[in-house]
Structure 1
Amino acid sequence: MARAALTREEVLQAAAALVKQHGPAALTMRKLAAELGTAVTSIYWHVGNRESLLDALVARTVADLGVVAARGRTPAERIVSVARGLRRDLRERPHLVAMVHERGLTERMFLPVQRSLVHEVHAAGLRGARAADAVRAVQFHVVGFVLVERNRERAPVQSPGEQDLWDAETGEQDPALARSLGGPVDADRLFTRSTRALVAGLLTADAP
């Protein structure tokens, strides 16, 4: 039985869920209609054709990624919290973010996060080019980290793996380092630690 009171927002939510799980190629009007228990004509009535639907999803993603709340008592803590929030959001919707990039709206998507970072680096006393460098350094760090994470997650099984490559010789006689580099990566811990170190360096008064 066709569903009665379907809304545009429900259509976009269902479409976003399909793209997040399976990528844009999996999003067809028939599959979306089946997910919603409605007729294909109803989907067209609410969002237009598939290209219009993809455009709407991109606009929705840009709006969703714009909201990253800063938390903490100090500018440094708040900058780190923005970075962690941005990493989380990018990891949750990689296919949607890729669609934003393909449509040339990446800079628009990042603008709200950049403005949050500007506010915090200003609160820390940075101005001008130095403040701009701090904002970009944090953004690039987050995006680069997420890209490395995604590549590692999608990579085929490595042979030899890291556990086979690190020993006393490659670790320069530092067995603890060799064990750590040969073991699994705690990405959350590494991200937080590296971001804190980056932000501390950027906000240091005598930094060049």
Structure 2
Amino acid sequence: MARSSLTREQVLDTAAALVRRNGPQALTMRALAAELGTAVTSIYWHVGNRESLLDALVESTVQEMGTLRPAGRTPAARIVSVARGLRRQLRARPHLIAMVHERGLTERMFLPAQQALVHEVHAAGLRGARAAAAVRAVQFQTVGFLLVERNRERSPVQSPGEGELWTASAADDDPALARALARPTDPDRLFEDSVRALVEGLLTGPPQQGARRRTGTQERETAE
């Protein structure tokens, strides 16, 4: 591929694919040139040196993470859709996300998802500290779930496994519970169920203790 027919977008897309497959250490200018079928000098012409290329990949990843679009008829459904989309995007590019984190841009990367959540919790009637707590709870649930999920995927084969450990006696004499816990986990369903339960509690639960104290203070001031 001649330099004149190569674009910066093609270089970045191919570099991102290499990182997704094999990690940042596999991204060399020679490997990228071979993948593109061009000369190394052509890569330099389009994106500069390797550090400049990595910076461009990080910026591209941050921008891609800002493309989440809520879906659903209710605020609760749209909040769940944001969490679902965030998990999907994070799972699709773990090495790139790690690069974003190493460059201190994690908070900026999460800002669009947080803003989408803010819009939906406002639509559900939450304001102030309660709205902030809801946004953070959904973000932490999503990222925390993903970290546990990735750890389980990478862990060695367990012996004994869950199927051997969960007996009726281990489950407090609840054989149905023991059978359920002995079965392999369906992470997609577990994620949906856990996020939905969290969101329902956040949107319908009582105000936080601090909010109740402030309300009581305001009522006393009004009475006086």
TM-score bracket for the superposition, by shorter chain length: over 0.9
Distance in 2, matches of 1:22 and 1:2, equals 26
Match of 1:73 in 2: 73
Superposition pairs of residues 10-21 of structure 1, within 5 angstroms: 10-21=10-21
Distance in 1, matches of 2:69 and 2:173, equals 44
State the SS of the aligned residue for 2:5: coil
State the SS of the aligned residue for 2:180: helix
Distance in 2, matches of 1:142 and 1:205, equals 20
Map Cα deviations across residues 154-194 of structure 1 (whole Å, 9 max, x no partner).
Answer: 11111111112111111111112111211111111110011
Give the alignment's TM-score, normalised by structure 2: 0.90
Distance in 1, matches of 2:201 and 2:30, equals 52
State the SS of the aligned residue for 1:184: coil
Distance in 1, matches of 2:164 and 2:49, equals 52
Number of residue pairs the alignment of both structures matches: 208
Match of 1:130 in 2: 130
- Structure 2 unaligned spans of 5+: 209-224
Once the 2 structures are TM-superposed, how far is the Cα of residue 206 of structure 1 from its aligned partner?
Answer: 2.4
Distance in 2, matches of 1:2 and 1:155, equals 44
Superposition pairs of residues 101-116 of structure 1, within 5 angstroms: 101-116=101-116
Describe the shift of the 1:159–1:205 C-alpha distance in structure 2 as closer, same or farther (beyond 3 A): closer
State the SS of the aligned residue for 1:13: helix
Q: What one-letter code is carried by the residue in structure 1 that aligns with 2:49?
A: N
Distance in 2, matches of 1:4 and 1:181, equals 58
The answer (yes or no) to whether the contact 1:23–1:95 under 8 Å persists in 2 is: yes
Map Cα deviations across residues 128-152 of structure 1 (whole Å, 9 max, x no partner).
Answer: 0110000000000000011111111
Whose radius of gyration is greater, 1 or 2? 2
- Structure 1 unaligned spans of 5+: none
The answer (yes or no) to whether the contact 1:3–1:37 under 8 Å persists in 2 is: no
State the SS of the aligned residue for 1:138: helix
Superposition pairs of residues 30-49 of structure 1, within 5 angstroms: 30-49=30-49
Match of 2:149 in 1: 149
The answer (yes or no) to whether the contact 2:18–2:26 under 8 Å persists in 1 is: yes
Give the alignment's TM-score, normalised by structure 1: 0.97
Once the 2 structures are TM-superposed, how far is the Cα of residue 25 of structure 1 from its aligned partner?
Answer: 0.7
The answer (yes or no) to whether the contact 2:130–2:207 under 8 Å persists in 1 is: no
State the identity %. 75
The 4+ residue runs of structure 1 with deviation greater than 4 A are: 1-4
Distance in 2, matches of 1:29 and 1:105, equals 24
**RMSD (CA atoms):** 1.1
State the SS of the aligned residue for 1:66: coil
Match of 1:204 in 2: 204
Match of 1:90 in 2: 90
